Amino acid sequence: MTAHSARKGILLMILAVFLFTAMDAVAKGLIERYPAPQVIWARFAGQALIVAVLLGPRMGPFLRTQHPWLHLVRSACQFLATAFFFVSLAYISLPEATALADTSPVLITLGAALFLGEKLGPRRIFGVFAALIGALIIIRPGAEVFTLAALLPLANAVAYAGNALLTRHIGMKEPFWTSLMYGALFGAVVGGIALPFVWVTPTLPDLGLFFLVGCLGTAAQLCIIRSFSTTEASVVAPFTYLGILFSTLWSVLFFNDWPDGWTIVGALVIVGAGLYVWHRETLHARQSQTRSDD
């Protein structure tokens, strides 16, 4: 892994997290007025429509795959991760749900070492667990955050980790458009099963918000697939913790939900951990490249 690929993967992950949290904020506003299954379906149906338009007649070749079962499991993990998180937003705040869901980097890093053969060096371990400490400072175990609803973002973390590891594995073998399309089709079909039972006709302004959820989800998913295809999963995993910062920003802007002092302290720990991993991995990649050129 070169310094350039590490930087590219990290920047793509940061952009993906930014877009995902923006999508979550829009989804939270919609879930206050519409059933969660309808919002979940819109997220994937929008992605399917956007990818189909972008690919046009080229879509057929991208649907051909040598790994149909891997795509099926990956798509199911992606759908479950979205479903668990969106449903949780009806019960707990966006920053709290994001902090609980951001236990996923630990699972991704350990899973990458166990299943993908990635090295689990001290820098990566430190970055992941330092960021986890920051997340724990924010959610403060024993506080009111820990209700039964808190199990939903924790389930999201497990599903997201499975999605991330399979994305990394498949991304080294096939074009990213294939993963993007299969994930969208699976979510649109499975999510559409519940529509006849829960459908609420959107107002015209809300119709635009439903489409925005699909657009943000598509862009975020594209960035995350490219990130995991470019860089080792354990390198970019700590940067998903930035979701806590971004979700707090959206909560302040859209819901007037301000963070307390502990949230700020935890956020600073998370940012510091992410910057440390970025600096050390980039430096290590440069040194490795220099030695190989000698």
Going by pLDDT thresholds of 50, 70 and 90, the confidence category of residue 158 is confident
The dihedral formed by the CA atoms of 271, 272, 277 and 282, expressed in degrees to the nearest 10: 90
Residue 119: predicted pLDDT: 72
| CA–CA dist 13, 61 (Å, integer) | 27
Does 116 score more than 80 pLDDT? no
The 8-class DSSP code of residue 257 comes to: -
Going by pLDDT thresholds of 50, 70 and 90, the confidence category of residue 142 is low
Residue 75: predicted pLDDT: 93
Does 4 score more than 90 pLDDT? no
Mean pLDDT of 6-32: 91
Does 42 score more than 60 pLDDT? yes
Chain centroid to CA 119: 22
Summarised one tens digit per residue, pLDDT across range 53-111 is 988 888 888 888 888 899 999 999 999 999 999 999 888 888 878 877 877 777 777 77
Residue 226: predicted pLDDT: 86
Summarised one tens digit per residue, pLDDT across range 192-215 is 999 999 999 999 999 999 999 999
| CA–CA dist 20, 119 (Å, integer) | 28
| CA–CA dist 3, 286 (Å, integer) | 6
Residue type, 123: R
The overall pTM is greater than 0.85: no
Residue type, 170: I
38 compared with 54, residue with greater pLDDT: 38
Which residues, other chains included, contact 231 with Cβ-Cβ below 8 Å and sequence gap of 6+? 1, 5, 6, 8, 9, 10, 13
Going by pLDDT thresholds of 50, 70 and 90, the confidence category of residue 160 is confident
